[in-house]
Structures are given as structure tokens and as C-alpha cells.
């Protein structure tokens, strides 16, 4: 197939002859890497018609380019980019040279430089990936997901899913969340209290934007999910990190005057502590006293394979004070980018308006495919299968860690997918992680989870959500050896 004529434009500013402008245009395309060796050029007739020049001008330009070995002519079949054409220039030469904008000045708000670390994008190539938050393709129900997506792609659903939904969600997904997902967490909500989001990240972000300003005060757990700290730092509110203990966030330590409390009661992130019932009531009472709101990130509640999960904090909320964040990205797969926000209707209304402004709505196709997967029971089956695998992996891991004398700093009472680990004093787990990467092992250093400028450096996280059970003993042995 020839390169389409629509790729070619003459430089209207140039004073050069038509023929040399055509030559420049093509040579530039080759040098910039847009036109590649072996690709066919449009016929001289077509290009001439497109550019509004005579055919002979194009032919002369082509002939010149053949002479300089940018192009080759192959008899009747036309002109091709020559195999001897010059290598494309490095992009820097082409672009930054011509950039005359002072970007330091032009950028009004910076968003780079947060606490969230760069994670290895090639994690799946490692043999011992104790990496957190990725899907395990071997556990996922690929066949049924495909069938559900196919059904959502069917003619019947097409109109519903391809329209601009303005600020609305797929009613089938919202209905399922209201009737099946939330009741399992003891939460009652109607559709006007539910907003579908692009994963939990997006839900937390929306909540922060609606509730916080530069004058408001937020409290977060310390350590906590680094991406949440980034979101709150960007919001420019007054932010207080509150050190967690073995029962999670201690209500007494939340400073007076706090407007919004961000917490992970089911499963503290990253320490995995579960907040006991008495403390939950105390937390709600503390919030009531201060007229504060609570944003509850109920992540990973599905992975409760050791004992029944406690109901969500939201289920104890009599005041409409708790805003609840759930996600399908962890339990289905992260690339799905589907979560939800549950709260009182006035709050959801604002979050919906903001979401519409930022991105309109999560794609209808993804919402409907998930709704089918959930309502046909595949999701529950997946959770059961994943739970069984995780339970086994966790056992193997506990045995291996005991054998090698590794110290567990926190583990989920109900299950979960990771351990929060403590290396001996003096071990810098960022150095440890780098060393282990060379030994085919991925672990997650703990530093980015802490708020302090000079945080403890000897914590790390080991997840078992992406590593097969049989590789765990050797992986743990390598970690122990690297620490030792």
C-alpha cells in the first residue's frame, strides 16, 4: 500500500521553487522517520493532483530524489523510499532545537515530582515478581471476560454504549453495584449516590477535588498509599499525616479542625492492619465531633480468604459522613480502570459534574462488559479462585519467611495480597530492591509510603498476587540472602 497522499503538505511559507519544496517535503519526511525505508510513495499523478501542481513537477522532484538515493524507482510499480536512504535524525535534533518556549515559565502547575515511584514496566519478565497491584493472567477468567465483552460489543448494546452519555453511567453496572456489591459490605445506596470512576485512583482524586481547598484540612494515614498523598498535596490543602498503629488509624491522634479524614479501615495500606470495630465507632464519633467527613478506601475487601471481612466503615455511618471508594481494578484487572464512589447525593452530584468536565464518563463498553461479567457470576467465581490461590501462596510465603527469619511488620487479618515487611535497622530497602532486581527478584521499597522527609528506610512490601506458589521459596531465599 502506498503512503496516502494526505500525508503530504507543501510548506506555504517557503520561497523555493515548487519542485524543490516537494523534494524538501519528502526528504524531511524520511529524515524525521515518518516515511520509512521500503515504503511506497503516491504516484506522481495522485500527488500532483493533491498538491495542485503539474505532474511533471512531481516527476522531476522524484527523479532528483532517486539521484540522491532518498528514493528508488522500481520500473512500472513506482517510487519507494530507498533502502539506502539516510537514517532518521535523532528526535532531539529535529525538535528541541526549534522549541522557543520557556517551559519553566509556561507551565503554570507542576504535577511531576510526586511521591509515587517509577515502577518497572517490564515486571512480568522477572522470575520472582513480588510486585503489588498487577493482575495474574494465569488466574484471570479470560474466556468469560471475552464473552462478556463480546456481548457488550453486540449490535443490541451498540447504541447504548457508543453514545455520548454526557455525565451518566451504565445503569446496569450501577444497579449491580447497588444491589450486589455494596450489600456485601453492609452498605445501602441508591443509584443517585453512586458514581462510576476510572478506578479507585480517580475516585479518591474526585473526592479530594470536591471536598478540599487551600483552606481545608485533611488527615491521612502514615504510612499511606503514595498516590493518595500526591493527590492531596496537589490539592494544596493543609495535610496532616497521622501515624498508624497495629489497629490502623488512631482517632485520638487526628488533629482538631480536620475537615476530611482519608482512611483504609478494612486493610490499612500498606501495613495491612484491620481496624477493630470499637475503633471504627470511635473514629466515626471523632469525625462527628469535628463535623469532619471520612473518605474510606475499601480496597481489596474481596480478598478475604482467612476470615469473613468486617463490614465497611460506611455500613456503620448513620450521618452520611462516610464517602466510600471501591474498585474493580484490583479484583478484575488494573487495566480495566473501573471503580466507584458512594456518598450522599449532594456530594455525588458535584463529583459527577467534575467528572463530566474532566473526562465525561468511563467508556460505556468497559462498563457494560464489567456489568455482564459481574451479573453472570463470573466475578464471584474469579474471586473464589483467586482467593484459593492467594491463600496457598500466602501459606508458602509465611513458611519460607519463617524459615529464613524475615520479619513481617503487618499482615491482613482477612487475607489480602501482600505482607508489609521490616528489614533489620540499617538496611536501605531501595538499595536492597536494586540489588535484588539483578537477581531476578522484584520487591517494593517502603520509603515512598511515608510522609516524613527522613522516613524509615528498612520497610518493604512483598505481594503474592503475581508470583506462582512454586517460585515463592526461591524468591524469599534470595531476598533473605540479599539482606543477610
Which parts of 238-257 interact with a copy of itself (CB under 8 A)? none
Q: Single out the residue of 115, 153, 376, 477 in contact with a copy of itself (rule: CB under 8 A).
A: 153
Give the whole-angstrom CA distance, residue 58 versus residue 77: 16
Q: In whole angstroms, what is the distance from residue 343 CA to residue 325 CA? A: 9
Let me know the angle formed at the C-alpha of 192 by 190 and 198, rounded to the nearest 5 degrees.
105
One of 14, 68, 93, 192 touching a copy of itself (CB under 8 A): 192
Residues 249-308 that bind a copy of itself (CB under 8 A): 259, 277, 281, 291, 293, 308
Q: Are 22 and 57 in contact (CB under 8 A)?
A: yes
- 27 is a contact residue toward a copy of itself (CB under 8 A): no
Contact 310, 277 (CB under 8 A): yes
> What residues between 417 and 446 interact with a copy of itself by CB under 8 A?
none
If one asks whether residue 18 binds a copy of itself (CB under 8 A), the answer comes out as no
Min CB(49)–a copy of itself separation in Å = 10
Single residue of 15, 112, 256, 470 touching a copy of itself by CB under 8 A:
112
Residues 69-88 that bind a copy of itself (CB under 8 A): none
User: Which three three-digit cell numbers place residue 378?
Assistant: 463470573
Question: Shortest distance, CB of residue 354 to a copy of itself, whole angstroms?
Answer: 4
Among 83, 87, 164, 470, binds a copy of itself (CB under 8 A): 164
The correct pick among 246, 359, 452, 481 for binding a copy of itself (CB under 8 A) is 359
Selected range binding a copy of itself among 67-75, 163-171, 268-276, 396-404, rule: CB under 8 A: 163-171
Cβ proximity to a copy of itself: between 384 and 403 the closer is 384
CB of 309 vs a copy of itself, minimal distance in Å: 9
Residue with cell 471476560: 145
Please say which residue, 84 or 112, places its beta carbon nearer to a copy of itself. 112
Is residue 227 a contact point for a copy of itself (CB under 8 A)?
A: yes
- Nearest distance from residue 159's CB to a copy of itself, in Å? 5
Burial annotation 55-87 (CB, 10 A radius, 16+ → b, else e): eebbbbbbebbeeeebbbeeeeebbbbbeebee
Q: Which span (71-79, 318-326, 445-453, 469-477) binds a copy of itself, by CB under 8 A?
A: 318-326
Among 77, 213, 289, 395, binds a copy of itself (CB under 8 A): 213
Beta-strand relationship, 128-129 and 260-263: unpaired
C-alpha cell at 372: 455482564
* Dist. CA 394–CA 378, nearest whole Å: 24
Q: Output the CA–CA distances (angstroms, integers) from residue 103 to 91, 430, 458, in the order listed.
A: 18, 32, 38
**Is residue 467 within 8 Å of residue 129, measured between CB atoms?**
yes
452 near a copy of itself (CB under 8 A): no
Region 379-398 residues binding a copy of itself, contact defined as CB under 8 A: 380
Q: Which of 16, 56, 246, 358 binds a copy of itself (CB under 8 A)?
A: 358
In this chain, which stretch among 66-74, 119-127, 266-274, 396-404 interacts with a copy of itself, using CB under 8 A? 119-127
Work out how close the CB of 1 gets to a copy of itself at its nearest, in angstroms, rounded to a whole number. Answer: 8
Q: Applying CB under 8 A, which part among 144-152, 248-256, 391-399, 474-482 lies near a copy of itself?
A: 144-152
SS3 of 175, please? helix
Sole binder of a copy of itself in the list 21, 226, 279, 337 (CB under 8 A): 337
**Residue 116 in the binding site for a copy of itself (CB under 8 A):** yes
User: Strand ranges (DSSP E) for 4-78?
Assistant: 71-73
Q: Give me the torsion for CA of 228, 231, 232, 236, rounded to 10°.
A: 170
145 binds a copy of itself (CB under 8 A): yes
What is the grid cell recorded at 348? 455525588
What's the closest the beta carbon of residue 474 comes to a copy of itself, in angstroms? 22
Q: Does 110 bind a copy of itself (CB under 8 A)?
A: yes
Residue 290 CB neighbour total at 10 angstroms:
17
The set of residues, in sequence order, having a beta carbon less than 8 Å from that of 268 and lying 6+ positions away, is 221, 244, 248, 249, 274, 275, 410
Applying CB under 8 A, does 15 fall inside the site for a copy of itself? no
Looking at the Cβ atoms of 78 and 133, the one nearer to a copy of itself is 133
**Angle value at C-alpha 204, between 198 and 209, nearest 5 degrees:** 105
Q: Which three cell numbers stand for residue 152?
A: 457488550
Cβ proximity to a copy of itself, 211 vs 432, nearer residue:
211
**Beta bridge partner(s), residue 150:** none
The nearer residue to a copy of itself, 290 or 477, going by C-beta atoms, is 290
Residue 37 as a binder of a copy of itself (CB under 8 A): the answer is: no
Given the rule CB under 8 A, which of 185-193, 242-250, 429-437, 443-451 is the region that contacts a copy of itself?
185-193
CB closer to a copy of itself out of 365 and 391: 365
Please give the grid coordinates belonging to residue 16.
Answer: 523555493
Mind giving me the DSSP string for 313-338?
GGGG-SSS-EEEEEESTTTT-GGG--
Element (H, E) at 409: strand 407-411
Give the Cα separation of 248 and 125 in Å (integer). Answer: 35
Amino acid at each position: 500500500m502506498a503512503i496516502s497522499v494526505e500525508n503530504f503538505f507543501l510548506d506555504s511559507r517557503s520561497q523555493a521553487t515548487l519542485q524543490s519544496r516537494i523534494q524538501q517535503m519528502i526528504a524531511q519526511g524520511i529524515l524525521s522517520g515518518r516515511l520509512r525505508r521500503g515504503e511506497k510513495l503516491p504516484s506522481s499523478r495522485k500527488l500532483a493532483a493533491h498538491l495542485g501542481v503539474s505532474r511533471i513537477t512531481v516527476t522531476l522532484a522524484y527523479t532528483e530524489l532517486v539521484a540522491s538515493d532518498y528514493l528508488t524507482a522500481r520500473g512500472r510499480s513506482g517510487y519507494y523510499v530507498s533502502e539506502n536512504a539516510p537514517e532518521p535524525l535523532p528526535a532531539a535534533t529535529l525538535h528541541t532545537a526549534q522549541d522557543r518556549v520557556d517551559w519553566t515559565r509556561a507551565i503554570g502547575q507542576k504535577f511531576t515530582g510526586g511521591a509515587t515511584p517509577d515502577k518497572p514496566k517490564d515486571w512480568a519478565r522477572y522470575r520472582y515478581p513480588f510486585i503489588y497491584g498487577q493482575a495474574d493472567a494465569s488466574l484471570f477468567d479470560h474466556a468469560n471476560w471475552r464473552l462478556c465483552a463480546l456481548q457488550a460489543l453486540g449490535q443490541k448494546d451498540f447504541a447504548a454504549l457508543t453514545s455520548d452519555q454526557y455525565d451518566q453511567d451504565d445503569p446496569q453496572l450501577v444497579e449491580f453495584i447497588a444491589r450486589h456489591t455494596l450489600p456485601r459490605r453492609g452498605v445501602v445506596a441508591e443509584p443517585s449516590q453512586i458514581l462510576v470512576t476510572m478506578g479507585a485512583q480517580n475516585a479518591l482524586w474526585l473526592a479530594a477535588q470536591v471536598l478540599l481547598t487551600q483552606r481545608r484540612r485533611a488527615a491521612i494515614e502514615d504510612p499511606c498509599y503514595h498516590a493518595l498523598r500526591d493527590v492531596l498535596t496537589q490539592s494544596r490543602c493543609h495535610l496532616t499525616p497521622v501515624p498508624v498503629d497495629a489497629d490502623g488509624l488512631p482517632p485520638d491522634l487526628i488533629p482538631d479542625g480536620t475537615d476530611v479524614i482519608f482512611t483504609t479501615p478494612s486493610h490499612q495500606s500498606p501495613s495491612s492492619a484491620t481496624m477493630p470495630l470499637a475503633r471504627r465507632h470511635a473514629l466515626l464519633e471523632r469525625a462527628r465531633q469535628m463535623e469532619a467527613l471520612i473518605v474510606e478506601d475499601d480496597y481489596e475487601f474481596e480478598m478475604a480468604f482467612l476470615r469473613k471481612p468486617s463490614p465497611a466503615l460506611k455500613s456503620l455511618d448513620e450521618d452520611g459522613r462516610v464517602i466510600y471508594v471501591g474498585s474493580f481494578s484490583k479484583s478484575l484487572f488494573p487495566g480495566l480502570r473501573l471503580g466507584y464512589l458512594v456518598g450522599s447525593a449532594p456530594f455525588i452530584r458535584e463529583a459527577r459534574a467534575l467528572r463530566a468536565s474532566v473526562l465525561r464518563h468511563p467508556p460505556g463498553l468497559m462498563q457494560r462488559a464489567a456489568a455482564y461479567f459481574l451479573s453472570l457470576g463470573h466475578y464471584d467465581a474469579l474471586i473464589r479462585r483467586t482467593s484459593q490461590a492467594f491463600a496457598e501462596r500466602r501459606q508458602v510465603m509465611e513458611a519460607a519467611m519463617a524459615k529464613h527469619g524475615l520479619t513481617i511488620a503487618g499482615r491482613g487479618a482477612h487475607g489480602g495480597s501482600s505482607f508489609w515487611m521490616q528489614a533489620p535497622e540499617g538496611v536501605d530497602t531501595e538499595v536492597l530492591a536494586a540489588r535484588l532486581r539483578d537477581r531476578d527478584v522484584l520487591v517494593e521499597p517502603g520509603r515512598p509510603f511515608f510522609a516524613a522527609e527522613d522516613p524509615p528506610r528498612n520497610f518493604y512490601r512483598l505481594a503474592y498476587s503475581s508470583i506462582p506458589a512454586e517460585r515463592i521459596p526461591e524468591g524469599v531465599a534470595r531476598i533473605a540472602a540479599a539482606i543477610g
